[in-house]
Amino acid sequence: ATLTSEEQEDFGAITGQDITVKSYKVESRITSRFAHVTVRSSVVNSGTKAQSIAFNVQIPKRAFISNFTMNVNGITFVGSVKEKTLARKLYARARSRNHAAGIVRTNSQDLEVFKTEVHVPPGSNIEFELHYQEMMERKLGFYEHSLYLQPGRLVPHFQVDVYIYEQNGIASVETSNTFGTQFAELIKVTSTKDKAHVVFKPSVQQQRECANCTNSAIDGELTVKYDVTRDSTSGELQVSDSYFFYFLAPSNLSPFPKNIVFVIDVSGSMWGVKMKQTVEAMRAILDDLTVEDQFGIIDFNHNVRCWNEDLVPGSSLHTTSAKSYIESIKPNGGTNINEALMRAVQMLMRAFNQDLINSRSISMIILVSDGDPTVGEIKLSVIQKNIKRAMREEFSLFSVGIGFDVDYDFLERIAMENRGMAQRIYANHDAAEQLRTFYHQVSSPLLSKIAVRFSDESVTNVTQSQFDKYFSGSELVVAGRVLPSESSSLSGYTSASSANMDLILEMDADIHKLDEELAKQQHSFTGFAKQMWAYLTIKQLIGERSLAPTAAKKRKITQRIISLSLDHQFVTPLTALLVTNDDDPTEMLLADSPMDPKHGCCSALPATSRVTFPPRPPGGMVYATPPSRPHWLLPATQPPTPSQVKKGEVDETLVTTNGVTRVDED
């Protein structure tokens, strides 16, 4: 991951010569695709002056922080998850007494950066400990667990452990890293039928950038890629701690033929690398089409053009012609998303009405855009409604947002609302490869109209159990609670359609077996089931919340998310982590989840929010003073100026009007 210049500066601060990182340990425990990650760092101010020590951890965006503790010279700050407004209120109160400082979470592409900084006198010992949890998502046949390692300097005790336990067995485990090929052989993998352990423990000498360097070469990503053994097409049903999980990931089924309309933004902002990479990706995507597939291409700026008015088969003749067309496009002008999407729907409708679409095929629109609408209908809510109204149940919309100038939330919303998925593509990365990868994820639909059922008497609190499509290499997950019963097994059914048949799959599980196995495992993630169920439920509710049709419904969902987040100690978009000093609860730090950068909250955050610890007085009192107040912590009586809001200098979630704090537009 690339750091922003601001992060670079901050990173520079912690690599000063008078700071010793005594140990840096990362431990992941993955059980049934659910990971609990702990990052621990022990640091000493070994200089002669007081100075700032920062703790930065990059965590995947889909992860939820579950705890953070900090110990400074024996004084412990303990984290607890609170409802966001309450946390902010408590924090504001502490801040008014100069007893608070911020922990900042910032966005960085697929990652969020959790960062805190303490100002400590010489000789101080600081221990940081961050916990987060995440569900491994299967993509293109693998679960990928990435750990972002930035110890900042050479560390005498540096260790990464990843423990994986999968009840059904581990089919393969492989590792990769971005620090350098010399580290490949230092990453040791041991695995048995159902367990794997990855350990990376380089010595100080091995951490060096070169033989005599004092810099650490470890600055990047360690990735563990694995897949599980699947001996049943029906999927895997697991029960632990009265929660059940059903994983469905069949392979060896023929994919549905596809009817795809590619809708490509060719407005002025696409000019240059973005367009070049889009063309490059489209070349490969078009090559993947078969004669059974049908496709169309619509390119749009302020005008909308169709390469061909109707869908055509994916023969080499047509794909070659389509490639030439795309290669000749010169981006310019505005962005008329609404009309482009309407034309795409019409193209599919026409094919449908003329009976040119195989009843067992999948119809999809893939929208590639890098910016907000500027021409035609520009109101996002109206576009959203128009699309929903125009789309048939049989069609789905997939959105690809290139770069940060696009309202990704909007693209995600319209995709989710229309049975599709969204993906952000980072223009500064290999965009063509990212686009191709996304296409591969959605280009092989194996099942459609999937419904997972259990008897009402056996389960409750079931997460999403109906899915529009299942794509090759991915996985559908359903979770819920098992109701008490005499039975020692749980069974369920899945119905679905494939490209040439209808299926009913039956699955069953012994409700005690997994817990018996877990009890024998030393490194499994204890209590994973409860957390995993909550994680899935919260993620689902967050999705539902953004699509809630009424304010009342939204409020209800909000309450449910908050309640679950508090019960399960997750920092979600509606909760915050309040870190308080055991000895003096008024001393506190606050970690909120960041918003999408398009909303302007995070890239401008100062790196100076920090806790200052003066030399420990004889009486043992230590207090925290924020030397400079983070500007997102504006007092409620001081509303931001319109220009601040416009420039995105103020977190929209904290915009205050007449002393009333508006939270997440609820």
Partner 1 sequence: PHFIIRLPRSNMDVCFNIDSKPGHILNLVSDIGTGVVVNGQLISSKKVHKDKLKTYFGVVSVYYQPEGFSVTVSTDRITTTDGRRSNVFTWGSTAEITHDGVTVSIVKNAQATITINNRIQVTVLLHRVWKKHPVNVDFLGVYLSNSNQYSPLVHGLIGQFSQEPEVRVYGVHEGADPLKKEATMEVKGNKLLVTRGWQKDYTWDRKHGSNVYCWFIHNSGKGFIDGHYSDYIVPDLDSFLQLP
User: Taking the complex as a whole, how short is the minimal distance between the CB of residue 456 and partner 1, in angstroms?
Assistant: 21
User: Taking the complex as a whole, how short is the minimal distance between the CB of residue 505 and partner 1, in angstroms?
Assistant: 5
Determine how β-strand 195-200 pairs with β-strand 187-191.
antiparallel
User: Which stretch, 191-199, 251-259, 528-536, 553-561, contacts partner 1 (CB under 8 A)?
Assistant: 251-259
Contact flags string 463-502 toward partner 1, x per CB under 8 A: -----------------------------------xxxxx
Tokens of 37: 């990650």
Of 67, 116, 234, 277, the one binding partner 1 (CB under 8 A) is: 234
Closest to partner 1 by CB, 131 vs 230, is 230
User: Taking the complex as a whole, how short is the minimal distance between the CB of residue 235 and partner 1, in angstroms?
Assistant: 8
Cβ atoms of 476 and 247 within 8 Å: the answer is yes
User: Taking the complex as a whole, how short is the minimal distance between the CB of residue 536 and partner 1, in angstroms?
Assistant: 24
Of 15, 232, 374, 603, the one binding partner 1 (CB under 8 A) is: 232
User: Taking the complex as a whole, how short is the minimal distance between the CB of residue 510 and partner 1, in angstroms?
Assistant: 14
CA–CA dist 664, 573 (Å, integer): 9
Q: Could you say whether residue 435 binds partner 1 (CB under 8 A)? A: no
| 469: β partners | 448
The Cβ of residue 75 has, within 10 Å, a number of other Cβ atoms equal to 19
User: Which stretch, 86-94, 155-163, 226-234, 368-376, contacts partner 1 (CB under 8 A)?
Assistant: 226-234
**Longest Cα pair distance anywhere in the chain, in angstroms?**
87
Of 2, 96, 203, 254, the one binding partner 1 (CB under 8 A) is: 254
Q: Could you say whether residue 507 binds partner 1 (CB under 8 A)? A: yes
Tokens of 325: 């067309």
Q: Which of 296, 231, 35, 285 is CA-nearest to residue 144?
A: 35
Closest to partner 1 by CB, 9 vs 506, is 506
| 62: β partners | none
Amino acid at 259: N
Closest to partner 1 by CB, 64 vs 246, is 246
User: Which stretch, 252-260, 408-416, 481-489, 606-614, contacts partner 1 (CB under 8 A)?
Assistant: 252-260
User: Taking the complex as a whole, how short is the minimal distance between the CB of residue 444 and partner 1, in angstroms?
Assistant: 13
Residue numbers 44-83 binding partner 1 by CB under 8 A: none
CA–CA dist 334, 348 (Å, integer): 25
Chain centre to alpha carbon of residue 92: 29
Q: Could you say whether residue 315 binds partner 1 (CB under 8 A)? A: no
Closest to partner 1 by CB, 357 vs 505, is 505
Rg (alpha carbons) of the chain, rounded to whole number: 26
Q: Could you say whether residue 238 binds partner 1 (CB under 8 A)? A: no
Q: How many CA atoms lie within 13 A of 595 on its CB side?
A: 19
Chain centre to alpha carbon of residue 330: 34
List, in sequence order, every beta strand (DSSP E) within 351-444. Answer: 362-369, 395-402, 422-425
Q: Could you say whether residue 233 binds partner 1 (CB under 8 A)? A: yes
User: Which stretch, 220-228, 459-467, 504-512, 611-619, contacts partner 1 (CB under 8 A)?
Assistant: 504-512
Closest to partner 1 by CB, 187 vs 478, is 478
Closest to partner 1 by CB, 288 vs 544, is 288
Closest to partner 1 by CB, 159 vs 358, is 358
Q: Which of 629, 650, 615, 638 is CA-nearest to residue 72?
A: 615
Closest to partner 1 by CB, 230 vs 424, is 230
CA–CA dist 519, 634 (Å, integer): 49
User: Which stretch, 157-165, 279-287, 506-514, 629-637, contacts partner 1 (CB under 8 A)?
Assistant: 506-514
Tokens of 14: 């912690």
Cβ atoms of 477 and 246 within 8 Å: the answer is yes
Q: Could you say whether residue 359 binds partner 1 (CB under 8 A)? A: no
User: Taking the complex as a whole, how short is the minimal distance between the CB of residue 596 and partner 1, in angstroms?
Assistant: 41
CA–CA dist 452, 448 (Å, integer): 12
Q: Which of 176, 39, 87 is CA-nearest to residue 653?
A: 87
Q: Could you say whether residue 193 binds partner 1 (CB under 8 A)? A: no
Closest to partner 1 by CB, 254 vs 488, is 254
CA–CA dist 624, 99 (Å, integer): 5
Chain centre to alpha carbon of residue 309: 38
Contact flags string 138-157 toward partner 1, x per CB under 8 A: --------------------
CA–CA dist 492, 311 (Å, integer): 40
The three-state (H, E, C) secondary structure of 398-416, written as one string: EEEEECCCCCHHHHHHHHH
Asked whether the CA dihedral 264, 265, 268, 271 is positive or negative, the reply is negative
Of 5, 211, 231, 353, the one binding partner 1 (CB under 8 A) is: 231
Closest to partner 1 by CB, 382 vs 504, is 504
List, in sequence order, every beta strand (DSSP E) within 529-585. Answer: 575-581
Strand order, beta sheet including 64-72:
100-102, 588-591, 575-581, 75-83, 64-72, 125-135, 34-45, 19-31, 157-165, 195-200, 187-191
Q: Could you say whether residue 291 binds partner 1 (CB under 8 A)? A: no
Question: How many chain residues touch partner 1 (CB under 8 A)?
Answer: 21
CA–CA dist 117, 511 (Å, integer): 46
Closest to partner 1 by CB, 510 vs 652, is 510
Closest to partner 1 by CB, 80 vs 232, is 232
Of 287, 309, 506, 567, the one binding partner 1 (CB under 8 A) is: 506
Closest to partner 1 by CB, 252 vs 637, is 252
User: Which stretch, 231-239, 377-385, 450-458, 609-617, contacts partner 1 (CB under 8 A)?
Assistant: 231-239
Q: Could you say whether residue 85 binds partner 1 (CB under 8 A)? A: no
Measured torsion, CA atoms of residues 336, 338, 343, 345, in degrees rounded to the nearest 10 = 150
Closest to partner 1 by CB, 230 vs 323, is 230
What is the binding site for partner 1 (CB under 8 A)? Answer: 230-234, 251-254, 292, 498-508
